[in-house]
Structure 1
């Protein structure tokens, strides 16, 4: 039979496909014994599919980054796009502002050409007003679907009390898993990496329901990438797609990317399409994280200055390499108008599991004095070799060396109160120095005791420490700490106490906690928890709350209490200030210690909200050292 011309055969094949006469892929060739292509089959398994995942856009978002990701996704043509939340900046109860932010998001997302699956991050649902808006827009905050035999579960990690998952959501997810026993894989998405949080959040129940099947878990929130193994499964924390980041590079977990997933018979294969390149899914795994951490620890410089005399000082900068790879350091001092140095350039090779020290002298110039000298500035670079074309391990920066002879705290443990005896362990932050100390209140000298082993005390004691260079007589200023022997505070008797806490709510523009005795509360009542948002109602800024009650302490012990708040807070027990977390600031934690006997003890928590963000969490730990929610203790009010 005469062979059809190539173009005619192609037309016939297309005709057959168009009208259903053939379902075979088009590949027409004038076959010969030898061909310039391999015998591998075409990658066209209809069960395989590809989709993309975007991560945090907000949380200090950088304009234009997410928009660039949308442009590139449109050129890559994934079958659909998933996300791990933080789509808008949020943290508002103003309906107009919330609508404006969602309108901005709609404009960005409207340019994406394929289907998008949303789930909420803490910036998307940060209060009940925003939850209501989310549900009006999207109908649900958690859901599941099956695509080509793969079960996708999107979760809301803002549900429940704090970073937890409500009972109804846990039951929903467990049912979705049970109802789909034959799927070839399960993909679980959420915003917070809840498996890393110490407090119970219900996620262990979901992991137990998944244990007999293959699955993968993905989250965001941290803006730092990490692939790790848990329960012999892959767990991923994605970095950023425009969210706030120092962008120190993929090796250091900080880069803008979308994650590209190809589903094969063996499961999902992930690569990270950095907006500036492509990185494998293990760009930061446990081994890579150890390398990066060792390097980050090495550049956590803590300079120490020792005074030789009125015009000369010694500068020490210890560089510790705790990793398994050799680090390479280069640096140079910038010109200084008040100080001159005997060495300006440095080049070090720091072996694994070792440390090296920058050690140089500076002298005052002319009439300059150390107490008025501007900081020295050290320009530095740190790196370790990387294979060709792989993302390098490289950091650089400028270290300001403040002319201050006061040493950092050498104490290993910060707790400064004790009941019977106290063992004090000190750690020398710089090598090559002699640590001298006194316990009688006098200033340490070269004739004082040399620290060689932990110190045990049994009474209230003032510990003073100085560092000395015995070769040139250079010395630091004095560091001191008072260690107080305390007695357990007696409980109170409250026969008529009932569950809950009394509260007083105030309005006003505060920069620090006010004197509440001079203010009149707007309203009062009783509550069961520290949900400041619930008490504030529609108000999101400029208010304060005082909580009072009695906490039921389970055993005689030293207790550590802490508050994590945005903005300021203080905690008193028996009118004694235990935690001072005052001031206008973003969410942060501060703590303090107190000795309590078993039983009821009066407490007071003061809190104020200035603007942008409102949160208050109170926790404690006892002799076991485990931090727990304060609300986990029985709380009582009159």
Structure 2
């Protein structure tokens, strides 16, 4: 496979992706993007999404992170979640390429579990004449206080036990978090950190692949919404090549165009609502590459109906 990672930094045989890219002799192909499964996953939605995506038969799947609830203080809980999720992904038979979200990598325990199981925090791959940068935005970790972790676990249980009350109990948790963090400046602004080692990898990978038709930059947090220099530095590294940025985190589908480049924030693929909105629905994004250009189709899961003849 045309997979690339920092071999000096990540000396491991573990990989975050599942499956292998199929062989291709053309630059026209299709892939699917899946949004946040958590926080507070609605049971069965992500799994049904996998089944529906399988029927669509993409060449591969990309996921923008927050695949498990996470924020565990004991590794056993995190491993149980990953074991269950990976069984569903593997049974789908779909090549699956994720990035880490804050739920997947949100404290030192979660970071250790990710590195034990998946080895690599960021990577890249090339498919035909398209380059994919799967980047990491979750350093440093922002662990929950013991009180908030207890509230988080209770909210997780209640949202599953009483799904009709899920929005209310999640809102209560978010209000509690807001109260505890009210003195933190810019708390609603994404704070992605892409360090020097990762930027060195990004710049080398872009230098090694100057001939691609399109570059996809995949992160969990939407870096274009940050007030840091991360976004500007990424754009500078891309050096006017055609690119599209993909992210998640806020559970709301948005398309923004900046200087002609699409910036797509995915909504939910299984996660519960955090706030109401007309565009707040479970979906996948279907991407068709043809002649070096992508077209994007958001597919509502609620509108998909499989007919088994």
CA contact 1:224–1:240 (8 Å) conserved in 2? yes
Describe how 1:407-418 pairs up with structure 2 within 5 A.
Answer: none
Q: Do 2:214 and 2:292's aligned partners in 1 also have CA atoms closer than 8 Å?
A: no
The alignment status of 1:221 with 2:249, answered yes or no, reads yes
**Helix, strand or coil at the partner of 1:110:** helix
1:94 aligns with 2:74: yes
Task: Spell out, residue by residue over 1:367-422, the C-alpha distance to the aligned partner (whole angstroms, 9 max, x if none).
Answer: xxxxxxxxxxxxxxxxxxxxxxxxxxxxxxxxxxxxxxxxxxxxxxxxxxxxxxxx
Q: TM-score, normalised by structure 1?
A: 0.35
8 Å contact kept, 2:26–2:128: no
1:259 aligns with 2:285: yes
Give the match's secondary structure for 1:181: coil
Q: Does 1:166 align with 2:191?
A: no
The match for 2:263 among 235, 242, 245 is 235
Where does the alignment leave 5 or more consecutive residues of structure 1 unmatched? 1-44, 279-638
In the TM superposition, residue 74 of structure 1 has moved relative to its aligned partner by: 1.4
Shift of 1:244: 1.8
Structure number with greater Rg is: 1
* Structural mapping, 1:240-251, within 5 Å: 240-245=268-273
Q: 2:216–2:243: 8 Å Cα contact kept in structure 1?
A: yes
Which residue is equivalent to 1:205? 233
The alpha carbon displacement at 1:110 in A equals 2.3
Equivalents in 2 of 1:124, 1:254: separation in Å? 22
TM-score (norm 2): 0.71
Distance 1:157 1:216 in 2: 17
- From 130, 145, 148, the equivalent of 1:150 is 130
Q: 1:96 to 1:246 in 2, by over 3 A?
A: closer
The structure whose residues are more often helix, as a share, is 2
> Structure 1: how far apart are the matches of 2:107 and 2:229?
19
CA contact (8 A) 2:28 2:292 kept: no
Shift of 1:202: 2.3
Which of residues 273, 280, 301 in structure 1 aligns to 2:299?
273
Local SS of the residue matching 1:125:
coil
1:570-585 counterparts in 2 under 5 A?
A: none
- Higher share of residues assigned strand: 1
CA distance in 1, matches of 2:206, 2:73: 35
Q: Distance in 2 between matches of 1:147 and 1:119?
A: 17
Number of aligned residue pairs: give it: 231
**Would you say the 8 A contact 2:129–2:292 is kept in 1?**
no
**1:551-590 matched pairs, under 5 angstroms:** none
User: What does residue 68 of structure 1 align with?
Assistant: 48
Please say if residues 50 and 263 of structure 1, whose CA atoms lie closer than 8 Å, have aligned partners that are also in contact: yes
Alpha-carbon distance between aligned partners in 1 of 2:38 and 2:247, rounded to the nearest angstrom:
15
Larger relative contact order (Cα-Cα within 8 Å, sequence gap ≥ 6): 2
| Root-mean-square deviation over aligned CA pairs | 1.8
